[in-house]
Amino acid sequence: MGATTDQDGMPSAAPTTTAGPATGRGVVTRFAPSPTGFLHLGGARTALFNWLFARHHGGTFLLRIEDTDRVRSTQPAIDAILAGMRWLGLDWDGDAVFQFARADRHAEVARAMIANGSAYKCYMTADEITAMRAAAEAAKKPLRIRSPWRDRTDGPADQPYVVRLRAPQEGAVTIDDQVQGSVTVQNAELDDLVLLRSDGTPTYMLAVVVDDHDMGVTHVIRGDDHLNNAFRQLPIYRAMGWPEPTYAHIPLIHGADGAKLSKRHGAVGIEAYRDELGILPEALDNYLLRLGWGHGDAEIIAREDAVRWFDLAAVGKSPSRFDLKKLEHLNGHYIREADDARLATLVADRLAGADVARLTAAMPALKPRAANLNELADGAHFLFATRPLPIDAAAEPLLAGNSPHILAAVHGALDALDGWDTDALEAAVRQVAEAEGVKLGQVAQPLRAALTGRKTSPGIFDVLALLGRQESLGRIADRMAA
């Protein structure tokens, strides 16, 4: 609805009004990151919630890059945001909108607001604002700009000015937030925010409202650090007579210690989880979904189920706590479920000179032990090592004492085999243990060290099968001499 005015065309005392759910329009959500940094966990979860809500309702999910901060916005950050969205499978409808390109439209709306009396030209100087701030600090009150130009139209034509919102001063506004519930703010707590700077460029508050309206956004789903902004933005909707969106402000993500998420907790760009930590996108999607939203006791949630089940009513009001160990545990599940050829391709990027076909064949043996792609690559390292194998310090004791004799016995037993399958290999090694009067582990441990150079590895019979007869016998022979 539009602004309420008195007989002089000035905004009158505002009653308590409520911003409720938008009706009569198909669902349209948006994700609007600022490219002053890369896509982080909180932003990725916001994007995911918006995507799921739109897809659940058969609606539209839009992407807007809020690049009006020309100093801090960078092309690498834009590229990283787009790449992160694609990696997470969060496809947007239509082309991405770049906010800076719409500056003329934002200014147009500001001029229209001046014309209808809901905004005004303010000629306050920096010194006057500084004095006003000092007075507020002395009175121990928050700064609320009430410009002397609010009710004047005789501004000097040769001086620069900003355009300010003529915010309502009386009454209150209540937002029926879909997550936070009913929230009320007194209009006296709001100030006459700047819509256009003195150089004619729009501020964030104006640009967001104009873009959301022009893009047909029906539901604004964002972090609860923007809740106060909603009360400052609603007067712009009402001044223009535009439909008001439904708001849903989701709690922020905290670290495991309950403090606001920071780099020390893992608040790094999404690309770090992909490239450095070896997390699969489906695992991160599932984990982010469960940070603040739930569906009964379900922990492993497929994408199609998430689309079918997602609603705002199940979003919690309390901050969620990020736990890297839980993410890696979930990632281990998705690694075990993933296609072997896909994993092999991903792992090959982490192993110089690795053969994808050989990695693919090894995946059934490697996957059960890995929580991330790095561990998969580490577990596959033995496949591509060259003789003589370097031996880790932890594995060296396994090759001492009677181990060369044991290895010689294993070499003879394996060399005599007609076939080279895991069943035949296991039978041969067990026979050696029985003949030597030792436990199977006392044979398997030096054998593992000789074959992989390490104390741990996939199952020893899988290792033998994957290496093949010639390579296995050669590596064993290298360690048979006392």
Q: Which residues are annotated as a binding site for ATP?
A: 263
Whats the size of the chain, residue-wise? 482
Q: How far apart are CA 460 and CA 406, in angstroms?
A: 15
Kindly report the CA angle at 47 between 41 and 48, in degrees rounded to 5? 85
Question: Residue holding tokens 């147009």?
Answer: 108
Structure tokens at 106: 């934002």
The verdict on whether 325 is a catalytic residue reads: no
Residues flagged as binding site? 263
The one-letter amino acid at 473 = L
The answer to whether residues 227 and 249 touch, using CB atoms and an 8 Å cutoff, is: yes
Candidates 385, 354, 353; CA nearest to 463 is 385
Candidates 368, 380, 282; CA nearest to 330 is 282
**What distances in angstroms separate CA 145 from CA 151, 212, 278, 393, one per listed residue?**
14, 26, 49, 68
Half-sphere exposure (CA, 13 Å, Cβ side) for 206? 33
The answer to whether residues 292 and 251 touch, using CB atoms and an 8 Å cutoff, is: yes
- Listing DSSP states for 343-381 in one string gives HHHHHHTTSTT--HHHHHHHHHHHGGG-SSHHHHHHHHG
Catalytic residue among 140, 141, 263, 325: 263
- Listing DSSP states for 49-101 in one string gives HHHHHHHHTT-EEEEEE----TTT--HHHHHHHHHHHHHTT---SSPPEEGGG
Sign (positive or negative) of CA dihedral 379, 380, 386, 388: positive
Distance between terminal CA atoms of the chain? 90
User: In whole angstroms, what separates CA 170 from the centre of its chain?
Assistant: 40
Active site residues: 263
